[in-house]
Amino acid sequence: MPSHVYHIEKVVHGGFGLSHTEDGQVVLLEGAISDETVQAKIHRTTKNLTQGVVTKIITPSVHRIQAPCPHYRKCGGCDFQHMEYSFQLQAKHDIIKDLLLRSGHPDLRHSATLLMAPLASPQQVSYRQRIRLQVDDQQIVGFHKRRSHTCVAIKDCLLAKPVINDCLEKLHQQKSFDKLLAQTDALEILLNPDSSRISILIHFKRKPRPADKQYAKELTESLPQVDGIFFMGNAFAVTGHSSLSYTLPPIPLHTEKSLCLSWESGGFCQVNIEQNRTLIQTVLDFCQIRREDTILDLFCGMGNFSIPLAEKAGTVLGIEGQASAIRSAKKNSAKANQRNTEFIKQPIHQACKELVQDNRMFDCIVLDPPRQGVPGLARELGSLCSKRMVYISCDPATLCRDLAELLDQGFILKTLQPVDMFPQTHHIEMIALLEKRNNLPDMQ
């Protein structure tokens, strides 16, 4: 399709540059920065929307830089490398503010003034504790191209910890690895932060056979930094697992000792370990926990927030749908010698309905849902929360939707704090502090 020239008005949700055609149609472009004039190739046009990718910068932004990664704009990973880091933070702030101002809820639009500046990541590259690589039909190992299932070969990822890249390079040198690729859909390389050792999780198309396990054994023996190689697939469970861990140092005013947080190799942990400490401290600051407080931690995972919260709270109830995460949370609490925690495996919506039926209430609710948020849960959350709620979100669009529902259930939004967990991408973590209206001093 032919190229066209556009003036970029702003960067919007999804990391796209927003422009308009002469007849007012919305145009979303990859690789653009606010106030630039660009030439773009259009790859999709519908009745109300045109989408494309920048092919030439006619008038560049003063914040545009040369992307440091040779795979940039080829693989479908990073999308902000063309911006200097300080402007990445500004762009993310503006994206969230734009979503708030365009909300259909008047109180949420007015809450745009509560939005704080994003907390910068200690590291802008080499911060990922794990990466997941795809394997296509040609047995190319890498990341998918944009809008494609074809892989761009990756032997070194700018965002990965150096030891992960070193392991990936050595994997490609092993014949046993080549033997496994024909049946591999994806490959996860996981760094254990405490030991600096590696675990590898292979997503296999079928249940592994003795020959496959032998190849994995040969790889483990030939790669000294690798603790273990495991298989998982749609038709079978993970073939064994290793435990990964990181040590959370004492947090002033909140915890007095270091806490070991561990999880299974197939489980979840924030990929930016250094910035996760900032995330935890901010959540603890917002919770304002007292010794007698009761805490409900929804989507608690392996206890990323539950365990440090329990150091000061009266009781903590953590609920999570994944069995391995609950196993890890219980172990982490036991290692910390905590006697005030309970962890339950149950779907969150079902658990909240049962807690409401039991007339349970909590001084503080912490929730850290997946990208889809918590649609339809606002009424139950309003019944369960007596004082405040801290909502951690990885998608500002679903957060805005959920906040609008929560505001209608007697909550007041007090603070919105972005935390940059994912430099070089448009993704950002958000922490929202809400208080129950009947708990505010001026309402008593």
| Catalytic machinery residues | 394
Partnered with residue 393 across adjacent β-strands are 430
CA within 13 Å, CB half, 173: 8
In our burial notation (b when 16+ CB lie closer than 10 A, e otherwise), range 191-216 reads bbbeeebbbbbbbbeeebeeebeebb
- Indicate the DSSP class of residue 438: G
Partnered with residue 315 across adjacent β-strands are 294
- Indicate the DSSP class of residue 265: T
- Comparing C-alpha atoms, which of 82, 71, 4 is closest to residue 43? 4
N- to C-terminal Cα separation, the chain: 64
Dihedral angle, C-alpha 284, 285, 290, 292, nearest 10 °:
-30
CA distance 231 to 404: 42
| Per-residue CA distances from 423 to 40, 89, 272, 346, 412 (Å) | 25, 9, 10, 33, 30
Strand 16-20, strand 26-30: pairing: antiparallel
H or E element at residue 143: strand 141-144
- Indicate the DSSP class of residue 377: -
Under the phi-then-psi rule, with left for phi > 0, alpha for psi from -120 to 50, and beta for the rest, what region is 410?
left
Dihedral angle, C-alpha 289, 291, 293, 298, nearest 10 °:
60
Q: Which two tokens stand for residue 292?
A: 């007698």
CA distance 79 to 204: 29
Q: Which runs of consecutive H residues, i.e. helices, occur in 155-201?
A: 162-171, 175-181
Strand 385-393, strand 362-367: pairing: parallel
- Comparing C-alpha atoms, which of 254, 263, 383 is closest to residue 330? 263
All residues at 6 or more sequence positions from 24 whose CB lies less than 8 Å from its CB, including other chains: none
- Residue position matching structure tokens 């309003």: 382
